[in-house]
Structure 1
């Protein structure tokens, strides 16, 4: 499938999705959000893809935010629709994929860009990265899950400070906060993400999908995450991956998971 605003590359069980609007600092417009949805969906359905990496083109930005020119004239009704559709189409969608998603943050990750990175299952950053949710400086609040995911990742107090000051934090601060897992040079960013992805790809994709579901359940209102874990744990015993994994362990050999 061809896209106008993103690039998709597959190699060795890893699909890399690159947001490619460098003249707009990779800002998210409606077309880009739709294309990202389609690319993530296609990669998740691809049995050969074990890990997805999402990043931005160029050296300046992962995603510098949403494309403000598209919604500056919106009224209340349109604003609510924008947030609801965006969350369903991309941000919640990414968070709940069964294929793990790594956000490789190069440069600015602001507003919708940071919200996209936070929707990924975890994040790595280049040492020149800057992250923030500056929406209140525009008279609006984060609308793509930022007010919910940021406190989950860094704690309520730090999230409140970041959101209300509209300020940016650097990569080292993001690492100290637990917002990103690793910081490296810009040149080595994708290599690091690929190295981690390769480790993930060796394991059972079925079990990983179940683990993602169980971890996410902890953050769903009205859902008992322990019950979800018990159910998912039991279901693993009926998979071919479980048979292969335990047989390989007992035989002291490398497992070759069928992904079933």
Structure 2
């Protein structure tokens, strides 16, 4: 299968498995170009009979996906070019919906930190396995005065239940892999030095199943229709992000070098200090 070159993704194909490496330095943010690249690539893979499993990993040692890039608002004109493909949800939610509806099995290998839009990406995949020491995850948007806007509320409700979804969204704490697995946000925590081999073995075993088995299982265990909840999430996100306080917090955060490695390591503490100074 021939694929175009992508500026934010690297793709390896082999043995029925497509491994997609997410690559947007310096901290691997989910920006507009990556959304467009994912939209194109997942669309092409939908009809690829030779690809049966899709594995996502990161090019960064510390971050799987830090969060949505703060320059995303500048990408809106470009994202409008694919809006027609998501008539019932926003484009960011639509990337999650692509993951949830992909005919292949989608697996996240979480060897670092995923927050906000990165955490939504993890929750949208069919399965996620995290390094027990380095894998961490948080839904941190409320620290900016907004709520998740890429499907996070609905994906969490489906995976962890209402009480834990409320804790995760409103508490905005960085969870270790063991706690995330206990909650059901990810499948399981695996020792860091075993994570690559574990995911490789699982993906290979699934890809080697008899024809029709993956399709049959995904039809029998379909992703639920979250459209109504996603629409409410979008409306509430849009209402809040249009206010003055989030804009001031985002501006001050960028002035203090958000999206560089040191602030991102303790993003929750960093954003709480920003909020205190706004």
TM-score class, shorter:
0.7 to 0.9
Instruction: Please say if residues 105 and 123 of structure 1, whose CA atoms lie closer than 8 Å, have aligned partners that are also in contact.
Output: yes
SS in 2 for 1:114: helix
The one-character-per-residue Cα deviations of 1:58-102 (angstroms, maximum 9, x if unpaired) are 21011011002333999xxx9xx89712222x1101100110000
Instruction: Please say if residues 63 and 112 of structure 1, whose CA atoms lie closer than 8 Å, have aligned partners that are also in contact.
Output: yes
- 2:106 equivalent to 1:101: yes
Q: Distance in 1 between matches of 2:46 and 2:74?
A: 33
Q: Hey, what does 1:87 align to over in structure 2?
A: 93
Instruction: Please say if residues 51 and 197 of structure 1, whose CA atoms lie closer than 8 Å, have aligned partners that are also in contact.
Output: yes
After TM superposition, where is structure 1 displaced by more than 6 Å over at least 4 residues in a row? none
1:56 aligns with one of 47, 55, 58: 58
Using a 3 Å threshold, how does the CA distance of structure 1 residues 57 and 187 change in structure 2: closer, same or farther? Answer: farther
Q: Hey, what does 1:9 align to over in structure 2?
A: 12
Instruction: Please say if residues 181 and 189 of structure 2, whose CA atoms lie closer than 8 Å, have aligned partners that are also in contact.
Output: yes
The one-character-per-residue Cα deviations of 1:95-124 (angstroms, maximum 9, x if unpaired) are 001100001112111011111111110110
Instruction: Please say if residues 61 and 109 of structure 1, whose CA atoms lie closer than 8 Å, have aligned partners that are also in contact.
Output: yes
Please, which runs of 5 or more residues in structure 2 have no aligned partner? 228-278
Q: Hey, what does 2:268 align to over in structure 1?
A: none
Number of residue pairs the alignment of both structures matches:
214
Matches within 5 A, 1:205-220: 205-216=211-222, 219-220=224-225
Using a 3 Å threshold, how does the CA distance of structure 1 residues 135 and 221 change in structure 2: closer, same or farther? Answer: closer
Q: Hey, what does 1:42 align to over in structure 2?
A: 44
Give the root-mean-square deviation of aligned CA atoms: 2.3
Q: Distance in 2 between matches of 1:208 and 1:58?
A: 30
- Normalised TM-score (structure 2): 0.71
Q: Distance in 2 between matches of 1:140 and 1:211?
A: 37
